Structure 1
Amino acid sequence: MKIICSQSDLNSNLSLVSRIVPSRPEPLVLGNVLVTADETTQKVSLTAFDGNLAIRTSFNAEVIEGGSITLPAKLFNDIVSKLPEMEINLDVDTSAEDNSSNTTLGNDQNVIATLSSPSGKYQLSGIDASEFPELPTINTGEDNASSELNLEEQNVCTVLLPVSALNEGLKCCLFAASIELSKQILTGIHFKTQRDNSTVNSLEFAATDSHRLAVVQTPLEIAENSEVEAISSEGSLTKTNNLFKDFAVTIPAKALRELERILASSPADQTIKFSFDDTQVIFELGDKRLSSLKLTGSYPAYNQLIPRNFGRQMIVDRKRLLNSLELVAVLAQKNNIVKFSLDSEAEQLFLSVDARDVGNAKEALPAEIIGESIDIAFNIKYLMDGLKAMPASEIKMQLNEWNQPVIFTPVGGFKMTYLVMPVQLRN
């Protein structure tokens, strides 16, 4: 294998896939990145896989001789990231005849990659590409028309989603997913279609760690059962049936955080191909592909947790409230608790933090308050996480009593509900 590519292209794509490489891989080849060069397409693809999550990306290069190899992800990434922004040559020697190289590297696998630039030369010992496991696939029926009849039995679904809708949904709920692996299903994001009469018109995202809940609805502006053009994983335009049947799926937040990074560099008006079956989900956008195992089990019936009637309400400037929380948070590092005092007569919100043996902090800001005055306390981090995610200049806080769930929503057209459980004050 022999290729010539730019340092910037190799570095950006290698950085993307290297993030998911496990620190203690089993088998050892999963600690490597699979590098594949194709003479026909003049593209180089990079693949990383941790056993559950896989990312593949490709970029243009001068492929003099095609081939494939797996290279240690961390070493490969560290070297490439420090090279100057010039052309890089990557040569792979699979012969055992280079005695000097094999002796120096102590290589028993006889796969040597030489990375060279105008400033230097580096050699890495690799593992044969045949050792790298095959990535999971989903039979969508596109290659065999007769197989489409069996897709429903296989519980296969393929839809084209607007990048903008997916981006908004992930940004506004990923922070609320649990990081405790013991909670299993709560470490994922649950999303499903929502219908207006008989038409699927929105995608609903939900995340909870049992202390807070974020629910977001984003519009789907692609016609149901329409045939539209999408960019395939090879970069070509293909016709795809956009089957918007009802679906619900829970995907690990870890996978979706990586997807969010992919979406961040993509135009908002693009569509992303989303496929899943009983065990796998696959996202394809241009030359990038992400696949992951689904989370199994029943996601909590979260809509039943959201109150519908409230005795109190407050509207306040989002940025001003967030700034005040960031100020008092300096003294809330021990217990993470902030007290809200809603004064309906003065139409003010008072924030206070009391850190025993350290000090205290107070902030006041104007607010539109309906209902009786009340004191209520929250985990300050939970509030700040939700406020940072809300795309609005003002937010509405709705509540009943100090020990009941509180709802935060953006004022405006964006459909987001953020439920936070209050905490009990000792005195």
Structure 2
Amino acid sequence: MKIVCSQSDLNTHLSLTFRAVPSRPTHPILANVLLQADAANSQVSLTAFDLSLGIRTSFNAEVLEGGTITLPAKLLNDIVSRLPEGEIILDDTIPDKVDGQQPVDNGLTVTLKPKSGRYQVRAMGAEEFPELPVTENDKAIHLPISALIEGLGGCLFATSADESKQVLTGVHLTVKQDTLEFAATDGHRLAVVETTNENLNDDEQPDSVQVTLPSKALRELERMLAHSSKEDEPVAMYFDSGQVVFEWQNQRLTSRTLEGQYPAYRQLIPNSFERELTLDRRQLISALERIAVLADQKNNIAKLSIDSESQEITLSVETQEIGSGMESMPAQIKGDDIDIAFNIKYLMEGLKALPSVEIQMQLNNNLAPVIFSPVGGIKMTYLAMPVQLRS
């Protein structure tokens, strides 16, 4: 095998596949990345697989001699990321001597030759590297890249980090005839994003398809899609019970699906509201960030006071041992005055995901779910549960 590629291409694709390398591999081969050089198509593909998440990416290169080999992922990633920009030659032919020194001679070895030097890395054969899973269902659902990026960006932050909650560690995706709906909740907040699915024109497509996917896999999908050169090309999604495969532009991501009944989240969203506010999103985030300096010292809770007469809200934090702080800002308010409290972290993460200049805040009382949504832009709902104020 012998290839010539750019440092930037190799570095970019290594960094993407490296995310699927297990930190504690159950077998030595899983600590490696599979490198396949295809001379006929002048392409190099890199694959990593932790037996749950699998990533394969491909890029164009000058393939002088095709071949397949596996290389230690962390070492290769660390070396390539530090190399200067320019051409790199990867060659598994062992030279007689390197600068007068005997080369590494134990087993397979790959030599990397950037313009500034030479590196040799022990490799392993590809025979034991596991194949990426496939689904029994061979009918693809085509999803727009822009809709996937929009939906994942608006809800991934709300998934649970508690592995014992299983299904809540993922995003619930509902594919309908003309829309995609993404939902995520950790039990304290809920994010729902609805985007247009312009690629579903197939009459054979079922009215509704639902699947829950792990947040880890979807974060990698989001990262890979951000590097896509053609956003107008769709992603093909194949799934059956237990497995999902995403394919696009010579890229592939595989993951297990999450089993279990996802909560009926639409039932959590109130149908009517006694109070409604319109606020400047950036101004509210800035005020929360300043107040958070004090809130972080205690319980991360801030009080929000609504004053309909003066048409303003006041954020406040009081910690007896340290001090207090308050911030006021204008708002368009409909409804009676009320004091309500929130976990600042949950509030800020949701507000940062809302893609609009102004946001709408809707609520009933100080213990009922509060809904935040963008004024204009994509259709997104963020639900945050208030916390009880202690007098």
Shorter-chain TM band:
over 0.9
SS of 2:37 mapped into structure 1: strand
Q: TM-score, normalised by structure 2?
A: 0.95
Displacement, 1:159?
A: 1.0
Match of 1:115 in 2: 112
Match of 2:195 in 1: 218
Matches within 5 A, 1:330-349: 330-333=293-296, 334-349=298-313
SS of 2:20 mapped into structure 1: coil
Match of 1:29 in 2: 29
Match of 2:166 in 1: 184
Deviation string, structure 1 residues 28-79 (Cα, Å, up to 9, x no partner): 1111110111111111100011110011011111111111111111110111
Alignment pair present for 1:254 and 2:216: yes
Partners of 1:291 and 1:384 in 2: how far apart?
32
Alignment pair present for 1:284 and 2:252: no
Q: TM-score, normalised by structure 1?
A: 0.87
Pair 307,94 (structure 1): closer, same or farther in 2 beyond 3 Å: farther
Partners of 2:389 and 2:129 in 1: how far apart?
55
Alignment pair present for 1:398 and 2:362: yes
Displacement, 1:412?
A: 1.9
Question: Which of 114, 122, 125 is 2:122 aligned to?
Answer: 125
Contact 2:304 2:314 in 1 (8 A): yes
Displacement, 1:245?
A: 4.3
Deviation string, structure 1 residues 284-327 (Cα, Å, up to 9, x no partner): 11021111000011101111111111111111111111111111
Partners of 1:261 and 1:75 in 2: how far apart?
22
Matches within 5 A, 1:187-266: 187-194=169-176, 200-225=177-202, 243=205, 245-266=207-228
Partners of 2:252 and 2:196 in 1: how far apart?
24
Contact 1:225 1:244 in 2 (8 A): no
| Structure 1 gaps, min length 5 | 142-156, 195-199, 227-241
RMSD: 2.0
Match of 2:133 in 1: 136
SS of 1:130 mapped into structure 2: coil
Q: Which amino acid aligns with 2:331?
A: A
Displacement, 1:116?
A: 1.2
Alignment pair present for 1:15 and 2:12: no
Question: Which of 164, 167, 178 is 2:149 aligned to?
Answer: 167
Question: Structure 1 segments of 4 or more deviating over 3 A?
Answer: 98-103, 242-245
How many residue pairs were aligned? 387
Partners of 1:265 and 1:117 in 2: how far apart?
24
| Structure 2 gaps, min length 5 | none
Pair 94,251 (structure 1): closer, same or farther in 2 beyond 3 Å: farther
Contact 2:57 2:250 in 1 (8 A): yes
Contact 1:224 1:244 in 2 (8 A): no
Partners of 2:52 and 2:172 in 1: how far apart?
18
Deviation string, structure 1 residues 82-108 (Cα, Å, up to 9, x no partner): 11112111111489xx994346xxx3x
Identity among equivalent pairs (%): 56
Partners of 1:244 and 1:66 in 2: how far apart?
42
Displacement, 1:138?
A: 2.1
Q: Which amino acid aligns with 2:13?
A: N
Partners of 2:238 and 2:184 in 1: how far apart?
21
SS of 1:78 mapped into structure 2: helix
Partners of 2:81 and 2:58 in 1: how far apart?
17
